[in-house]
């Protein structure tokens, strides 16, 4: 059996696109599970996929140190290759405010912001001392931030324009493997090899962390928000957990948690 490291919906086409450890990207119709296409262009494992919100593009990030931009309207031909990382590229995420750009996180210790409209690979770079496992975009009061998680057991909030670290989120006891910002609310979730999922709330760029920790007997990876406050996380026990976080109106962002469903595969 092959490990599936990333999968995304392309809802406007009724597709699911998935990347597996045989270096293939496969596309399925999720109504009838018919395989639409499969292709392999990377030279190593594919770690992450990101779907453009409006254009027919998918970006893939790989252990071969490069990212590739694919155009499904042109038979899934690759439109551009982005080089510049010197280690595994662990995650890629489109910028919701400027979807011509995307951020990538690598084990070379960098976060890079790139544009497929530019002849240059990288518009800007944040150089850090620790391996970066994950990246996402976060917007608060119309101000943009980058989020990252790393092997120093922390997540960091970076000013998008100055590239300075404005906050460090501490509390995990092992590598932070994934980070995800809610598309509407000022909260993020982080997952870690310490077997926990943590929920963080932001009020006026002040981060609060209380007893909002979900604990499992396995290492959590790849959290995703479903609109409003429903989110899912995958663990190495091959379980998917779906949790609902109910927000109060207080500034402390009190959370009550109810698990809706759990299933294995």
Write out pLDDT tens, residues 36-94. 999 998 999 999 999 999 999 999 999 999 999 999 999 998 788 899 899 999 999 99
Tokens representing residue 125 in the block: 């770079």
Would you say residue 121 has pLDDT above 70?
no
* Average pLDDT rounded to a whole number, residues 184-194: 88
Would you say residue 158 has pLDDT above 70?
yes
| Residues 134, 92: Cα–Cα separation, whole Å | 8
R_g over Cα of the chain: 18
Task: Identify the residue whose tokens are 């970066």.
Answer: 132
Average pLDDT over the chain reads: 79
- Give the pLDDT score at 262: 33
Q: Which residues make Cβ contacts (< 8 Å) with residue 162, sequence separation at least 6?
A: none
What are the beta bridge partners of residue 113?
103, 124
Dihedral sign of CA atoms 236, 225, 9, 90 in order: negative
CA 206 to chain centre: 22
Q: Smallest Cα–Cα separation from 117: which of 105, 101, 103, 129?
A: 101
Tokens representing residue 110 in the block: 């960098």
Comparing 149-163, 169-183, 204-218, the range with the smallest average pLDDT is 204-218
Question: In Å, what is the CA distance from 165 to each residue of 145, 159, 214?
Answer: 9, 6, 26
| Residues 161, 163: Cα–Cα separation, whole Å | 6
Contact 181, 138 (CB under 8 A): yes
* Entry pTM: 0.78
Q: Confidence class of residue 187 from pLDDT cuts 50, 70 and 90?
A: confident
Per domain, the residue ranges of the chain are: 1-94
Dihedral sign of CA atoms 204, 105, 127, 132 in order: positive
Q: Which residues make Cβ contacts (< 8 Å) with residue 206, sequence separation at least 6?
A: none
Question: In Å, what is the CA distance from 89 to each residue of 81, 92, 188, 231?
Answer: 13, 8, 22, 24
| Residues 146, 138: Cα–Cα separation, whole Å | 6
């Amino acid at each position: 059996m092959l490990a599936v490291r990333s999968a995304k919906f392309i809802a406007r086409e009724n597709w699911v696109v998935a990347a597996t450890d045989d270096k293939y990207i496969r596309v399925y119709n999720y109504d009838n599970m018919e395989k639409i296409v499969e292709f392999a262009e990377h030279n190593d494992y594919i770690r992450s996929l990101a779907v453009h919100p409006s254009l027919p593009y998918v970006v893939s990030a790989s252990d071969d140190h490069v990212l590739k931009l694919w155009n499904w309207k042109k038979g899934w031909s690759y439109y551009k290759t982005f080089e510049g990382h010197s280690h595994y590229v662990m995650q890629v995420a489109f910028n919701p405010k400027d979807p011509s750009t995307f951020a990538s996180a690598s084990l070379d210790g960098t976060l890079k912001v790139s544009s497929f409209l530019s002849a240059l690979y990288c518009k800007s770079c944040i150089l850090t001392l620790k391996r970066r496992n994950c990246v996402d975009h976060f917007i608060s009061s119309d101000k943009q931030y980058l989020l990252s998680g790393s092997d120093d057991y922390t997540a960091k909030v970076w000013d998008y324009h100055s590239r300075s670290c404005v906050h460090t989120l501490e509390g995990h006891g092992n590598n932070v493997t994934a980070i995800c910002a809610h598309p509407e609310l000022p909260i993020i979730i982080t997952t870690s090899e310490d077997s926990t999922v943590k929920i963080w709330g932001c009020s006026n760029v002040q981060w609060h962390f209380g007893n909002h920790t979900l604990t499992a007997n396995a290492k959590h990876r790849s959290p995703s928000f479903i609109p409003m406050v429903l989110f899912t996380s995958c663990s190495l026990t091959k379980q998917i957990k779906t949790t609902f976080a109910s927000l109060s109106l207080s500034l402390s962002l009190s959370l009550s948690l109810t698990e809706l469903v759990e299933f294995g595969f």
